[in-house]
Chain A
């Protein structure tokens, strides 16, 4: 699914990722943990194609070099990023945003665009599956949403767009236990042998609900340790310092 070799990324001449290697196969869920400033969000941004970074190294997604592909094309190819801080867009109805988004992705794949009725049916289905109140859909996109509502909205979008690779950038931060369960449920119910996940988190808490295949520790722009689920538990007890 995703192959990263010796990835270096810098912004404003400040080097952030310093030779990162990572391979994610279809069906796998990888968790990335690491202290503040280790480059976790930069990795998410670089994978999604955010502009402003100087990049070198290899970045292959399903056999294609991602580096020259712009953000929206990557999204159309099935890369989804759940934002750490989802943006507010005043005046734009959440439903309409989601429908526009889904239809441009469908269009790019040569699929038929969904009409309003079919779309609403799909949304209703996903909302009840996740236990999300449909009311947020008729509100302006993320405007006046609580932190939890914003994150739930990201997961709802993930469910509807049905991407190949979902990147969750600290989606669990600042959530109460009920919201956390909704997020975890959203991820778990999407897992199958074709879909891959990259979950960025500070805490082991989320990984109690989502069982990762691999846990990586990112520190100073590199992956310094890789293990399975137990590594996260270990980190929770000892902190990152011991690893350095």
Chain B
């Protein structure tokens, strides 16, 4: 590796590429490509029709442009919509059949795919470019009736569940990127937790963009049946490339009566170099429906990567007494931009929502919290608490808070608190005087600032995330 590359890799340690022969769909976005994807996935006819319906709709709608971070026009005809490692074409049946090079890649990423790491007790589905490579712990989950598999497999094996729930939270008539995803999505995870089952381990998916000029359009669908519980984690990385790569995923969660879904994201896509060249456009639609009474959906996100992060993991609180939570840390450094937040749609009685957002800006970055709390006429006694804190480092970055509150019910209580602060030189001096260097001091102060959110993450990921927070801000106070 050249010296310069070495330097860059130090900053973003997941920036390597893996030299694996891949199969790609022809470049461009058209019916043929969609048919190609559907065919290679051996999909039933109804799935293809669904995709084509989305594609037809896509032709008549435009990209939204109300967001704060602007980006150059994306040429959708200049992208590959399907890329898969060649060896995965005939799907591996067990880990032993997975291309060792892929396993090596995942080992580099620290993903517990191999047998020895299984001891750590996290079931992992790994998505490399467009296909799922391996799902661990399948047998143990099957015993409990839990389905955790690539969505392409679920389409073939569990068509009734997929038909019933796919698109029921994010319809194909949704906004541009969500509709694009519905037309071309390639893989992702499918989870079904049966009635009254508590999933015994964390379920996890690792997404990795490897091929160049490739968009990643994964689709995740999680259904928690009555009285069930599941905690799900996703992590993301990508190689360093000078071009911007699009990542437009859809994630749908459905919680039925008394069910609970906890969804955590540690997003560390390549953010671009310090001059703002390259990096991932992370335009993701995540939405959960608390469909049953007393159900609960909780989103936790740690967003440290991507050139632009543009997403609003949301909760539709339909069931009476249902609860929606959103805990977010968004860190932007150098030229990174983020416009992120949540939507809490209160429809049922006694519904509650809580929003804790921590935005950190350094370098020339720009960080926007945008959130909607919508309380409908029927949502008697709804409650919301929102807290948005921004932390600025240096004087070239920006932080913005844009809360929207629509309240149509006088019995509701809505609270909003916001603070903006700067990392204080005196605080750093105090830490330095106690023997901590600048990076350690910043790491400590920032982790303190984010504590309420980090606490929401499952143990093993909280440690990772804490480190990530420190790394993302390295060199940001001069």
The 4 closest A-B pairs by CB, nearest first: A91-B448, A92-B448, A71-B432, A101-B434
A108 to chain B, nearest CB (A): 7
Complex contacts, A141 vs chain B, CB 8 Å:
448
Across the two chains, which residue of chain B brings its CB closest to A90? B448
> B474 contacts the other chain (Cβ, under 8 Å)?
no
- Closest chain-B Cβ to A22's Cβ sits at a distance in Å of 20
A72 to B439, CA, bound (A): 11
**Smallest CB separation, B457 vs chain A (Å):** 15
* A64-92 interface with B by 8 A CB criterion: 70-72, 75-76, 80-81, 83, 86-87, 89-92
**B105 contacts which chain A residues (CB < 8 A)?**
none
**A140 contact set on B, CB distance < 8 A:** 448
- Binary contact track B421-449/A, C-beta < 8 Å → 1, others 0: 00010110111111111101000110111
With both chains docked as a complex, state the minimum distance between the C-beta of A45 and any C-beta of chain B, in angstroms.
9
Residue A50 is within 8 A (CB to CB) of chain B in the complex: yes
B450 within 8 A of A: yes
Q: Is there contact, CB below 8 Å, between A87 and B435?
A: no
B39 interface contact, C-beta 8 A: no
Q: How far is the CA of A61 from the CA of B156 in the complex (A)?
A: 74
A105 part of interface (Cβ distance < 8 Å): yes
Is there a chain B Cβ closer than 8 Å to A8's Cβ?
A: no
A101 adjacent to B436 (CB under 8 Å): yes
Q: How many residues of B contact A (CB 8 A)?
A: 22
Whether B449 and A90, one on each chain, are in contact in the complex, defined by CB atoms closer than 8 angstroms, is: yes
Partner of B435, one of A90, A96, A108: A108
Inter-subunit contact B434/A91 (CB<8 Å)? no
A71 near B448 with CB under 8 A, answer: no
How many chain-A residues does the 8 Å CB contact rule pick out? 30
Q: Which residues of B are found within 8 Å of A72, using beta-carbon distances?
A: 432-433, 435-438
Interface flag for B451 (CB, 8 Å): yes
Residues of the A chain whose Cβ atoms lie less than 8 Å from the Cβ of B429:
50-51, 71, 87
Whether the pair B451, A91 counts as a contact (CB closer than 8 A) is: yes
Interfacial chain B residues near A70, Cβ < 8 Å: 432
A219 in the interface (beta carbon within 8 A): no
Residues of A contacting B426 in the complex (Cβ-Cβ under 8 angstroms): 87
Chain B CB within 8 A of A226 CB: no
Q: Is A86 a contact partner of B448 (Cβ separation < 8 A)?
A: no
A123 CB to nearest chain B CB (Å): 15
- 9 example contacts (A-B, Cβ-Cβ < 8 A) are as follows A48-B433, A70-B432, A72-B438, A89-B427, A90-B449, A91-B449, A91-B451, A97-B431, A140-B448
| Bound CA–CA A142/B448 (angstroms) | 13
Chain B nearest Cβ from A71, distance in angstroms: 4
User: With A87-B427, A91-B451 as given contacts, are A81 and B444 in contact (CB-CB < 8 Å)?
Assistant: no
Contacts of B437 in A (CB 8 A): 72, 104
> What are the residues of chain B within 8 A of A105 when measuring CB–CB?
434-435
Q: Which residues of A contact B451 (CB under 8 A)?
A: 91
